Amino acid sequence: MDHASLKDLDEKGFLSPALELVKAKLRSTRRKKFEDVEAASRVAQQLVMGAGVYQNASDKVASLILFHKAVRSCQAAVLLCERGLVVDAQTLTRSAVESLFHAVALINDPAVFVQMGKYGDTEEKKQAVGMIRSLSELGLTEQNVGDLSEVISRAEGPASKFSTYEAARIADLLPLYETVYRGLSAVASHATLRSMDSSLEIRDGNAFLLTGPSEYHLDFTLGLLKVCFEVSSSKLREHFIFET
């Protein structure tokens, strides 16, 4: 990359047009890796688009939507990988497998549909209560409070808890949970000390901040994305209707 491109990258960060040069380089040096993950993506995309469900099967409709969300998140992660935004791609990969757990759990146990609905109401209640508490002196109108109170009323009864772990257990995908989901929580998604690894380099006992595109764990991340696409494809074939 020439001096002008590096300067533009320093000034504009990852919104710099110079990222296209990074993309070209990474696509060239890791051609096979990208071709493999794109082939897996193509299969998953076609299966999502071709899957059919019974119109009155709300659980299957919800499952298919979450499969699509998983595939879309993986595809977005590939776009980040080819621009050197690897940690951010890992965050999206974690989100993708979370959607995958819930998608398969809905198939394995239709009661999950109700559990997810109740858990969503519980979480929205927490937000509404917090907004009233923290924003009451910052301009909330009576209409605002009324709307938030309506959200709170939808979560009557004991609080519901439906964790990602529970979804992975019902989906029979705990190995994926314990490796990919937990692992990426620590190294990418959460503000942990380990999540700083990709942004620091130690040379001669001194720490240097890395702010530009990175190849750190790029191959590893593309491999995880390929697995996510392939598991999604396998479960789609197993549980949905396809015209022959």
244: pLDDT strictly greater than 80: no
Tell me what pLDDT residue 158 has: 77
pLDDT in tens, 158-168: 777 899 999 99
Residues 127-149: tens digit of each pLDDT: 999 999 998 888 888 899 999 99
Q: CA 29, CA 51: separation in Å to the nearest integer?
A: 35
Q: What is the C-alpha separation between 81 and 27, in angstroms, rounded?
A: 10
Predicted confidence (pLDDT) per residue in 167-180, tens digit:
999 999 999 999 99
pLDDT band at 55 (very low <50, low <70, confident <90, very high): low
Q: Is the pLDDT of residue 230 over 70?
A: yes
Q: Which of 161, 183, 185, 165 is nearest to 174 (CA)?
A: 165
Alpha helices in the chain, H assignment, sequence order: 3-12, 19-29, 31-50, 58-81, 86-108, 112-135, 142-153, 164-170, 174-176, 182-184, 218-239
**Is it the case that residue 86 has pLDDT exceeding 90?**
yes
Q: Which of 43-57, 96-110, 225-239 has the lowest mean pLDDT?
A: 43-57
Phi, psi (5° rounding) for residue 218? -65, -50
Share of the chain above pLDDT 90, in %: 70
Report the C-alpha dihedral over residues 219, 223, 226, 228, rounded to 10 degrees: -130
Dist CA 103 CA 101 (whole Å) = 6
CB 225 within 8 A of CB 93: yes
Q: What gap in Å lies between CA 104 and CA 92, rounded to an integer? A: 19
